[in-house]
Amino acid sequence: MLDKESRVAAIGCAGIAAALLCLALPGVAAAEELTLWHHTYPPATDFIKQKAVEYNKLHPDVTVTVQDDPHGDYEIKLLAAIASGNPPDIINLLDYLYPSYVKKKLLAPVDVHAFGVQSDDQLQAMYMPQALSGLTVGGTTFGVPEEFNTLALFLNKAHFAEAGLDATSSATWPRTWNDLFTLAAKLTKKDDSGKITRLGFNWVWGLDPYWYAQQYWPILVQYGCQVVDASNQVTINAPPCVKAFTETWQRLITDKIGGPDYATVNPVNALQDFSDGRQSMMIAGIWAPPLFGEQVKKDYIVAPLPQLDPAQPHTLLNSYSLTVTSGSKHQQLAWDFIHFLVSDANGYLRATGYVTGVKGWADTEAAKATRGSAIFAEGQKYGSFVWRSPTWTEEGTAIKNAIEQFAQGSPVKDALDQAAAAIKDIRAQQ
């Protein structure tokens, strides 16, 4: 391992890429290992491992070890590793966690020079509007998107055809939530005993609080519901929020066409029922199709996310990002590998369905070959990130618990009252 002075001298050769060549010279080489932790998503894991091999060919003294864990377990293991003083170098982190991680000083700011620019403003200019805003705290950017997401509605055109509907026609697509549930009832199949054998639509149930949030967040915004208002008052139990959850999440249950009892819970593929052809419509991101079954891959259609008012559309933005831990001993090298990864935006989209958020992604050949890419690109223009809080995980869990309570028969208002009280207690302890 080079001492600090030798490393500085090496970097002085001509930036980090040249520094790595300098480090490879006889007499000064030292093998270095980068560790990268990622949530389990097999297409992404395979792609990153492939890119790690390519990087090693360019820099033989650098190896990258990839570890993945299911999303629900990932953050728990990550925080335990950080607390033990043995953090990975590179981590895959959702945007809502940034306020908490930055407050705890767990992240290193982006090394803009690794991206070939001289300032944060120049880095921002490489990306679509808002792509880095969810990863920026106090004016400092701490990560870059591995995936810059929004949501759309996926339809199984074979199921629609069975019901005498043409899913390829935009006139068939549900424009409002009421349209969605009316259509879901038509697509739902039941046996002679009345048991549902195929779902028209269902929410994702039984997973972590962020899986719930990314589904309900655009709905809350459409209805004018705020988790916490501008004066920092908790308002998740206010009338607009009660109305939002009643007319969407609870509607599915009161109409007896969906709910947690019908959902397959899979932390690796949350969309298992649609993927296997047991569900006709679902809400997801552009990343979803690589895990679809072969028949569903042939049959899916992408439509815009339903709205309360189609004239005033709103959807979710989120970034599952890559960042470097402040405890990494190889921060410059880690940022260089991240740049190497996300620079292959076309490779990411083809292999994983991930949009890295760079400007012009929708005009690339990979995007043009990706079904629904224009709908996702349009959605990125009118989305927003979930609310920001250092205690987001605890607050999101309180809302998840409320949803699961009213799904089992509790009044929506009572469940949200409990969520509001819990969030107030959580914030009072800070």
For the chain, which domains are there? 31-149+321-356 (3.40.190.10), 152-316+391-428 (3.40.190.10)
- Residue 59's nearest CA partner among 93, 10, 12 is 10
pLDDT number for residue 31: 82
- CA distance from start to end of the chain: 42
Q: How far is residue 417 CA from its own chain's centroid?
A: 28
In this prediction, residue 20 carries a pLDDT of 39
Name the token pair of 271: 């969309």
pLDDT in tens, the chain (430 residues): 334 334 333 433 434 343 333 333 333 345 899 999 999 999 999 999 999 999 999 999 999 999 999 877 888 999 999 999 999 999 999 999 999 999 999 999 999 999 999 999 999 999 998 999 999 999 999 999 999 999 999 999 999 999 999 999 999 999 999 999 999 999 999 999 989 999 999 999 999 999 999 999 999 999 999 999 999 999 999 999 999 999 999 999 999 999 999 999 998 899 999 999 999 999 999 999 988 999 999 999 999 999 999 999 999 999 999 999 999 999 999 999 999 999 999 999 999 999 999 999 999 999 999 999 999 999 999 999 999 999 999 999 999 999 999 999 999 999 999 999 999 999 999 8
Contact 408, 417 (CB under 8 A): no
Residue 11 is predicted with a pLDDT of 38
Name the burial class of residue 131, with classes exposed (0-12), middle (13-18) and buried (19+) by CB atoms within 10 angstroms of its CB.
Answer: buried
Q: What global pTM score does this model have?
A: 0.85
